[in-house]
Structure 1
């Protein structure tokens, strides 16, 4: 019997593998490519790149950049049909444009044991003007079915050698093989960036002599490279991450210098020293930072006469925050005018925060602007300055040897805090005299959510009590933004989350719209639906997490919460002598590896009261991908505790 079972398991394993025999070594479609119907490594995948390659080189006659691209894709499920809709993005300017040629596409299906090929017709290729600088070429590969294999290829022609063709190794579906070949003449010197956490399977380069020759006898050698990745997982976006462009595996190029065949050399890569000098003279940054402001007209006598430097800074901050409105434009290097902001009462990020900078500076406070890239904009390059990658400006103020990061664009943010979108690791702090430098940007204190619930169960089976809540940091900011614009909507949403509980006498005890915390209290009363001899009560009338946000089999990019935080929930149930505790939840203690997080849950019974404490701590703002399985289980435990912790009371 055991032998037969072993034989069947081996046979099943062989049959399973025989279903997946993809030809990932070439662009040629094989019968096995068509017959294979699964992808065991990722059972959720709706399509699979079997093979793809790109080849970029400088044409020896026209001296333009040509990139030949080929893709071979397996359609596994109907949800993967979108992979047959191809869009090619082309850039154009006043002087030149990109073109695409030699578009070919074919669908391969197995019908009644015969391979049927369906080719793309030229009439089904469409060109669409996207905007003044971009054109889209679109086509849909025909006759797509579950199990189809599609291939398509084309050649891009570009005169924009400034932007050597980048290559995406990773995408929305898994890939078995991705290869990129490049040939770069020595005239062009690029900084090459490999982005993302995936490793190259192959990275080879060699020199080709006289690969590019011109009519006057000039010649250049070429650096020929081959980059290969294999078995690349799909990139699937999930909660707690910055923009996917920070993590997608790809290779990018930034032109540093170009030297023509006459020996004339042009430098495109700048040093921070050069950029600092340009920013000092820039009409939108440097000149605005040195603009004089009529503080006596703008600020009240109470602010001007304040002798406590911190209170004065806070008052100036509140003045800018409450009197000037952000117009939702980032454009930090365009149309920045402190004068226009004062006149119109509205402006972009730079205008508002530069006004704040100048008012604080006139008050004798040490201030410096900080350029940064927001979470949705991606990480700014540290290897060399790329000023276009910055899209936000905040202010650092140093008061009594303590530094504060300030942003006056948000009406609800506290002095010393910055918007969540700015928590992207680091920024560039500008000193117009000494030059700029990198600065880490992270909250000084963890954010907290704290709830204290006390209930009373009387002899008539009525349950009522009080809730006290206190949020700090970014949790408090979120609460203020939800509460102050429309208090009634805020209370109604809270009521909707607890349909069997009536909320009354809701009060907010914190100081105002920019308070450093958010404190609220309210009364609650349960509907009387208790039946039978036993009472089952879930003590978590407030849940921190309704479900596990982590559902991937594997995550290859960091888990970025943005800040450290703590969740704290205490519960007390007072009951009369008419009841006795039959069963209480089990105590639990769980730690993340290396002390990076903790769950504590325990209950105790004292007389006619049961007390419970639940605490969840995240000691890091960012967790490396290897912590993903631990965090996944960590959240499973949190959800389980909140859902299944039942107090069982028995009537006497």
Structure 2
């Protein structure tokens, strides 16, 4: 049989198949797929997922799933995608079983399809630990133009929370399809995440089949100021409505009912309602303070000094209060609940709050009593009529501040009948205040006296960098000092009444008699370069916290010099008003004063603002580097 005839047979019945309209069939390709060469919306891509489909059906007591993924190699660097890994969580009791794994690669050689199929011995299962496993395989003869198909089936015994589906990949995806058949006796709530997924109107049939079809998905790549990538995946999950907590068959109708169930867990109750023996032990702590806030801070500091965080996190304590009082080392829920117990026994109101921290993959908390939405336990503390959010596991974070990855929208307050979702609002006034004075000393030596104050979260950041790297490295790498020109550096830090780090130093440089002197007025900025260089942006921009930076510089114009040039005034802001920049120069007879402010009111910005933000940041970073120019008017 001639090659042209073989190729014709290969395409029979497939010419009319269109990947956007028809679902995939393993090993069968359309003309469009064979001829596909570049992704319109991501032309630099070296490979593409032509299509993928996850077909799911609940057959009580199991979820049966089949996944097919088709990849095409577009450039030589994309050949790496011929090595495939499929991670899955099996658990200690083998909750998940992988079956029927198969894979093939097809190349078109002289107009003829040539397919190589992997055998059973080509697939390897690797134990990754902690219940995770991974199937690995490498396809042979992968080259530019290769089409890779692989398919597997999976049996999952967990029906309370279904694994769901992530629609994006590390390479662009033309179409991603997820369908699930749910029997009428089960009722699931859909947990959606990602801009497209939230807007998507899924197909539904009366027989209980639901389908999502998402198209033209960009590759998932980490971008600057993207604090937690997993929070932005386009994905769906399913949670059984009427959640049974920790294997219980109980159905929780509302948040107070879930809270009651949690509080009644023995280990949890030992902190919330300690018995007389432990009440007396807690009250033995001698706390000094003129008001509740001072007392709360004293107890917080006592915990930091006397108890150690073991690195484990979660929403429930596994140990009774007795163990923690003896060992003085445990996980986040135990330590925060012990702080709660100390506070309550000293007349200060404190309550547990469950949150989903950044990176937990739960950016959208739904208003339904599902505890598995959360992964961390913190406290809300009421002192002198004011509310504070607190976590006592980090010695670098003072009372009233949370780690920046805990700056989330909502949390679950556990407080009897008042249990509910509440906003997580950490009140702070972070920012950088810089004051610099330039003056000429000794004829040719210019001296700048600088004072910079870092407030709240910026102070915490500077404290951490100095402690981690040491003072010399901190000065060189963080502050960008030329050590030959810098003298008299001092660093001071305090936590009360707020976090403040003060730095002072003097910088000297010689003019060497040049006719023109270029003086950059600002010695330090959080934005030395524009961090946004990509042409486009897929995911939201997270600056971790808001801030207000204020720069003030005064340049004394000595005898023998005159002002030759200086930056123009400017005032710009993003279209939504959440990010603004002001720059103003006041030129007087013997002095030039420069004032600039950078004000970020909202720390997470949507990707739709990226082009405006990129342009805005180019103005900011360029403007902060513009020099004031002095001209020498008299010869020495």
* TM score, norm. by length of structure 1: 0.85
Please give the alpha-carbon distance, in whole angstroms, between the structure 2 residues aligned to 1:201 and 1:429. 31
Structure 1 residues 483-506: Cα deviation after superposition (integer angstroms, max 9, x where no partner): 356753465435871337622222
Structure 1 residues 1-24: Cα deviation after superposition (integer angstroms, max 9, x where no partner): xxxxxxxxxxxxxxxxxxxx9854
Compared with structure 1, are the counterparts of its residues 193 and 269 closer, same or farther at alpha carbon in structure 2 (3 Å cutoff)? farther
3-state SS of paired residue (2:241): strand
Name the counterpart of 2:51: 51
Name the counterpart of 2:215: 230
3-state SS of paired residue (1:176): strand
Name the counterpart of 1:254: 239
| Cα distance, 1:198 vs structure 2 | 0.4
Q: Does 1:277 align with 2:242?
A: no
Compared with structure 1, are the counterparts of its residues 314 and 123 closer, same or farther at alpha carbon in structure 2 (3 Å cutoff)? closer
Q: Does 1:567 align with 2:549?
A: yes
3-state SS of paired residue (1:42): coil
Please give the alpha-carbon distance, in whole angstroms, between the structure 1 residues aligned to 2:582 and 2:249. 62
Q: Does 1:647 align with 2:615?
A: no
Q: Does 1:170 align with 2:168?
A: yes
Name the counterpart of 1:69: 67
Compared with structure 1, are the counterparts of its residues 382 and 58 closer, same or farther at alpha carbon in structure 2 (3 Å cutoff)? closer
| 1:41-120 aligned within 5 A | 41-58=41-58, 64-92=62-90, 97-120=95-118
| 1:436-585 aligned within 5 A | 436-458=419-441, 460-484=443-467, 488-489=471-472, 491-493=474-476, 497-499=480-482, 502-511=485-494, 516-526=499-509, 528=510, 530=512, 532-585=514-567
Name the counterpart of 1:400: 384
3-state SS of paired residue (1:170): coil
Contact 1:288 1:336 in 2 (8 A): no
Please give the alpha-carbon distance, in whole angstroms, between the structure 2 residues aligned to 1:279 and 1:43. 51
Please give the alpha-carbon distance, in whole angstroms, between the structure 2 residues aligned to 1:531 and 1:23. 72
Name the counterpart of 2:125: 127
| Cα distance, 1:590 vs structure 2 | 0.6
Structure 1 residues 377-422: Cα deviation after superposition (integer angstroms, max 9, x where no partner): 2437423233234332222222232112222222232332222221
Tell which deviates more after alignment, 148-157 or 24-33.
24-33
| Cα distance, 1:90 vs structure 2 | 4.1
| Cα distance, 1:584 vs structure 2 | 1.1
| Alignment RMSD (CA, Å) | 3.1
Please give the alpha-carbon distance, in whole angstroms, between the structure 1 residues aligned to 2:66 and 2:591. 74
Compared with structure 1, are the counterparts of its residues 340 and 390 closer, same or farther at alpha carbon in structure 2 (3 Å cutoff)? same
Aligned residue among 275, 282, 285 for 1:299: 285
Contact 2:306 2:328 in 1 (8 A): yes
| 1:132-143 aligned within 5 A | 133-143=131-141
Contact 1:581 1:649 in 2 (8 A): yes
Compared with structure 1, are the counterparts of its residues 357 and 95 closer, same or farther at alpha carbon in structure 2 (3 Å cutoff)? closer
Please give the alpha-carbon distance, in whole angstroms, between the structure 1 residues aligned to 2:235 and 2:495. 47
Name the counterpart of 1:414: 398
- Number of matched residues? 605
Contact 2:252 2:258 in 1 (8 A): no
The unaligned stretches of length 5 or more in structure 1 are 1-20, 209-222, 259-264
Structure 1 residues 447-469: Cα deviation after superposition (integer angstroms, max 9, x where no partner): 11111111213463312121101
Aligned residue among 202, 219, 224 for 1:239: 224
Name the counterpart of 1:6: none
Please give the alpha-carbon distance, in whole angstroms, between the structure 2 residues aligned to 1:530 and 1:76. 58
Please give the alpha-carbon distance, in whole angstroms, between the structure 2 residues aligned to 1:99 and 1:180. 20
3-state SS of paired residue (1:285): helix
* TM score, norm. by length of structure 2: 0.86
Please give the alpha-carbon distance, in whole angstroms, between the structure 2 residues aligned to 1:428 and 1:381. 10
Contact 2:19 2:175 in 1 (8 A): no
Structure 1 residues 209-257: Cα deviation after superposition (integer angstroms, max 9, x where no partner): xxxxxxxxxxxxxx12222112222232223344333221122111236
3-state SS of paired residue (2:171): coil
Structure 1 residues 515-570: Cα deviation after superposition (integer angstroms, max 9, x where no partner): 521122112222x3756422223223213213223344443443233332111212
Please give the alpha-carbon distance, in whole angstroms, between the structure 2 residues aligned to 1:150 and 1:239. 32
| Cα distance, 1:649 vs structure 2 | 2.1
Contact 2:169 2:220 in 1 (8 A): yes
Aligned residue among 388, 391, 411 for 1:427: 411
Name the counterpart of 2:619: 637
Please give the alpha-carbon distance, in whole angstroms, between the structure 1 residues aligned to 2:77 and 2:295. 59
Contact 1:442 1:563 in 2 (8 A): no
